């Protein structure tokens, strides 16, 4: 008896319980031919994740029934059944039977009711910065709970806005968990952690931990976990229930049948028309009422960092910018599967992030562009972690720095990229600050904001010294305006500093720069820090604020992008904080001896070049 026949017999013997769904690997000897081999069948598949065998062969992980598996194999795709019955995998992952009601609390994960109660408690404990909203409703009239965190949560201040959401697919509780975890971090760290306090004071951060409440509750309360329920719960065509909400958004909806399905029976059914689903239309209207600069749409599982487009492999707008963001995500969470959705995962159309990035007319009105990203959390299953809090907490810790990072870049965020000593007028012309010397000091700032709205205007700064070895004689300076992704300095109006005679070459002095600017009509103040080494021409820079444990961890990268090495001349190698590590002789082309991380190189003449380099882990 072959495997397909055996599976069919299991299906027939269990007809009362519905078709048995299996977890199956589809091996992709040539991924580029997958769409040709499967055709529209690709759009019917319930793809959970993908991976690579020890021999380097890529594969897709799908949940499928016996008849569909036979159709896949008839297309010439090699397969192997990993779990003949996904309910058995569920029992192995959670220790619970998916059909007996014992998993209503989702174990360590939040179920819908626990998520609701947690948001309400955060709002009650932190009423000055947290506010809940239940305006958005599902098909079954459940609240799509939304939490806003900002220093004046009860009113719209015009501050840059950023959006985090989870559980668009009902079987993905870790995506809910990280939204609640980051919201809790913002609320609990406000007033004590300098980075968190700055973010809450200067951003409006919105959370929808469960975008699909009906499907989420169906999994917890009605045994939907027995089939890894994914869609919403609206009956479109009896007996078929549900639409894949992440195939129902308006941009490139129904682009082809490989990236979504027109069949109501499919797990990737896109619905009868764009924005047909109450949940998607609610979010559609919600986003039209806001101007979200950036968003992360959390899913599970597989450990991916992705940017649009999902519908096709065409280059999206500003691909280098999008790639830089997910590369930074990767440096924090170590997810090797990082890149454009279409090329990194599989074709999908009608997705949220494609619609959010698209610059199109929306009901006749120009649509606001949101820089949107998808992170697929977790590595082994939708439900794994229910009985393993250490695993869940580790995934959260890997991705919280990315939440902070994107919140920062959702508006003007200034980084100190260079500090320069000029002693040619008032000093001994060595290009460094020596004991007993007076010199001009000028700095370069970069506006790291993602969105074109966030130009830093009316920029000024005040310099102070945390050390008596250096006195600031002229502390204030104006700066030119900085459009997003651009830099400016105060070279024409430098600070004036004096080193006391008692200082020794090699002494490190900490300087503090308080920058004030206007971003989209809102005044922001941002502290920055620099290290000045007496008698050294290499001046280190450091970024602030950074509260305890909030500095992103440097992890081994699997790619190198953006580094430009000098063809000639001497270069200086700096670490991520801007400290001088070494001088690079002409012709240097690699730094493989260094630990994995982010480094900078600049020429001996600072104005010539300065590049960011990612050194991969080995």
Tens of pLDDT, residue by residue over 110-152, are 999 999 999 999 999 999 999 999 999 999 999 999 999 999 9
Residue 128 falls in the annotated catalytic set: no
Model confidence at 18, in pLDDT bands (50, 70, 90)?
A: low
Q: Which residue has the higher pLDDT, 608 or 434?
A: 434
Mean pLDDT computed over 238-256: 96
**In the prediction, which pLDDT does 37 show?**
84
Alpha-carbon distances of 38 from 42, 149, 258, 529, rounded to whole Å:
5, 46, 9, 56
Question: Would you state the CATH architecture of domain 412-552?
Answer: Sandwich (2.60)
Where does residue 560 fall: left (phi above 0), alpha (psi -120 to 50 degrees), or beta otherwise?
beta
CATH code 3.40.630.10 region(s) in the chain: 112-409
**Model pLDDT, residue 604:** 54
Residues 80-92 have a mean pLDDT of 93
Residue 384 has pLDDT above 60, yes or no: yes
Residue 95: pLDDT over 90: no
How would residue 593 be classed by pLDDT, with cut points 50, 70 and 90? low
The tokens describing 522, both together, are: 């809102």
- Average pLDDT over the chain, rounded to an integer: 87
Query: Cα(524)–Cα(528) distance, rounded to whole angstroms?
Result: 13
With contact defined as beta carbons under 8 Å apart, do 320 and 307 qualify?
A: no
Select the more confidently predicted residue: 231 or 599. Answer: 231
CB proximity list for 76: less than 8 A, separation 6 or greater: 37
Does residue 497 carry a pLDDT above 60? yes
Place of tokens 């020429």: 603
Contacts 24+ apart (CB under 8 A), 95-103: 95/386, 95/387, 96/386, 98/223, 98/225, 98/226, 99/17, 99/223, 99/226, 101/223, 103/220, 103/225, 103/386
Percent of the chain surpassing pLDDT 70? 85
Q: Going by C-beta distance under 8 Å and a sequence separation of 6 or more, which residues neighbour residue 107?
A: 94, 96, 385, 386, 387
Residue pLDDT, tens place only, 295-337: 999 999 999 999 999 999 999 999 999 999 999 999 999 998 9
Q: Which residues of 202-226 are buried (b: 16+ CB within 10 A; e: fewer)?
A: bbbbbbbbbbbbbbbbbbbeebbbb
Supply 45's token pair.
């598949």
**pLDDT value for 568:** 46
107: alpha, beta or left, given left = phi > 0 and alpha = psi -120 to 50? left
Residue 55, C-beta contacts closer than 8 angstroms, at least 6 positions apart? none
Q: Is 592 exposed, middle or buried (0-12, 13-18, 19+ CB in 10 A)?
A: exposed
Quick one: pLDDT at residue 19? 82
Is residue 418 a contact partner of residue 538, using CB atoms and an 8 Å limit? Answer: no
Does residue 553 register a pLDDT over 50?
no
Tens of pLDDT along 196-243?
999 999 999 999 999 999 999 999 999 899 899 999 999 988 899 999
pLDDT-based confidence at 460, cuts 50/70/90? very high
* Region(s) of the chain under CATH 3.30.70.340: 3-92
pLDDT of residue 563: 40
Helix/strand/coil (H/E/C) assignment for every residue in 169-236: CCCCHHHHHHHHHHHHHHHHHCCCCHHHHHHHHHCEEEEECCCCHHHHHHHHHCCHHHHCCCCCCCEE
Q: Do the beta carbons of residue 371 and residue 293 sit within 8 Å?
A: yes
The domain 3-92 having CATH identifier 3.30.70.340: the answer here is yes
- Over range 462-490, report the average pLDDT: 96
Task: Tell me the mean pLDDT in the region 410-427.
Answer: 92
Q: Which of 506, 327, 503, 528 is nearest to 419 (CA)?
A: 528
Report which secondary-structure segment, H or E, holds 372: strand 371-377
Catalytic residue among 356, 376, 437, 543: 376
Under 8 Å between Cβ of 137 and 275: no
Cis-peptide into 239, omega within 30 deg: yes
CATH of 112-409, one of 3.40.50.150, 3.40.50.1100, 3.40.190.10, 3.40.630.10: 3.40.630.10
Q: Where are the CATH 2.60.40.10 domain residues in the chain?
A: 412-552
Rg of the chain's alpha carbons, rounded to an integer? 27
């Amino acid at each position: 008896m072959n495997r397909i026949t055996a599976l069919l017999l299991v299906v027939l013997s269990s007809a009362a319980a519905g078709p048995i769904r299996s977890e199956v690997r589809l091996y992709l000897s040539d991924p580029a031919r997958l769409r040709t081999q499967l055709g529209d069948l690709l759009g019917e598949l319930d793809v959970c994740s993908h991976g690579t065998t020890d021999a380097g062969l890529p594969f897709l992980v799908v949940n499928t029934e016996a008849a569909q598996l036979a159709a896949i194999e008839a297309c010439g795709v090699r397969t192997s059944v990993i779990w003949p019955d996904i309910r058995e995998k569920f029992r192995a992952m959670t220790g619970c039977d998916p059909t007996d009601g014992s998993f209503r609390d989702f174990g360590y994960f939040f179920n819908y009711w626990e998520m609701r109660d947690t948001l309400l408690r955060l709002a009650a404990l932190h009423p000055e910065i947290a506010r809940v909203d239940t305006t958005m409703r599902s098909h079954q009239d459940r609240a799509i709970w939304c939490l806003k965190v900002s220093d004046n949560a009860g009113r719209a201040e015009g501050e840059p806005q950023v959006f985090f959401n989870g559980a668009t697919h009902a079987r993905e509780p870790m995506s809910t968990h990280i939204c609640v975890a980051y919201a809790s971090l913002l609320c609990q760290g406000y007033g004590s952690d300098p980075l968190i306090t700055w973010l809450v004071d200067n951003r409006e951060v919105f959370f929808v931990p469960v975008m699909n409440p009906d499907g989420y509750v169906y999994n917890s309360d009605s045994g939907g976990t027995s089939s890894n329920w994914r869609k919403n719960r609206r009956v479109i065509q009896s007996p078929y229930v549900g639409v894949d909400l992440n195939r129902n958004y308006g941009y490139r909806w129904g682009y082809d049948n490989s990236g979504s399905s027109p069949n109501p029976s499919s797990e990737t059914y896109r619905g009868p028309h764009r924005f047909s689903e109450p949940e998607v239309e609610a979010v559609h209207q919600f986003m039209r009422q806001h101007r979200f600069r950036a968003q992360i749409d959390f899913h599970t599982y597989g450990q991916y960092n992705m940017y649009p487009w999902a519908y096709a492999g065409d280059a999206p707008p500003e691909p280098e910018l999008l790639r830089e963001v997910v590369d930074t995500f990767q440096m924090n969470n170590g997810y090797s599967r990082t890149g454009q959705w279409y090329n990194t995962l599989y074709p999908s159309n009608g997705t949220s992030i494609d619609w959010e990035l698209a610059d199109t007319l929306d009901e006749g009105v120009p649509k606001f562009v949101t820089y949107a990203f998808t992170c697929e959390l977790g590595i082994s299953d939708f439900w794994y972690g229910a009985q393993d809090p250490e695993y869940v907490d580790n995934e959260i810790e890997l991705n919280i720095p990315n939440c902070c990072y994107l919140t920062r870049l959702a508006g003007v965020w200034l980084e100190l990229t260079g500090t320069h000593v000029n002693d040619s007028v008032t000093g001994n012309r060595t290009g460094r600050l020596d004991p007993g010397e007076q010199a001009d000091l000028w700095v370069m700032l970069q506006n790291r904001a993602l969105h074109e709205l966030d130009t830093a205007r009316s920029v000024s700064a005040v310099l102070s010294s945390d050390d008596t070895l250096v006195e600031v004689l002229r502390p204030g300076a104006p700066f030119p305006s900085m459009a997003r992704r651009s830099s400016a300095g105060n070279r024409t109006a430098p600070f004036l500093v004096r080193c006391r005679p008692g200082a020794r070459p090699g002494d490190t002095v900490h300087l503090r720069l308080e920058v004030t600017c206007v971003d989209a009509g809102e005044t922001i103040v941002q502290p920055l820090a620099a290290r000045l080494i007496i008698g050294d021409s290499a001046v280190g820079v450091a970024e602030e604020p950074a509260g305890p444990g909030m500095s992103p961890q440097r992890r081994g990268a699997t790619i190198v992008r953006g580094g430009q090495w000098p063809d000639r001349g001497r270069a200086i190698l700096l670490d991520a904080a801007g400290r001088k590590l070494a001088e690079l002789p002409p012709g240097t082309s690699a730094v493989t001896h260094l630990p994995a991380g982010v480094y900078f190189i600049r020429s001996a003449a600072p104005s010539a070049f300065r590049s960011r380099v990612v050194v991969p882990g080995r």
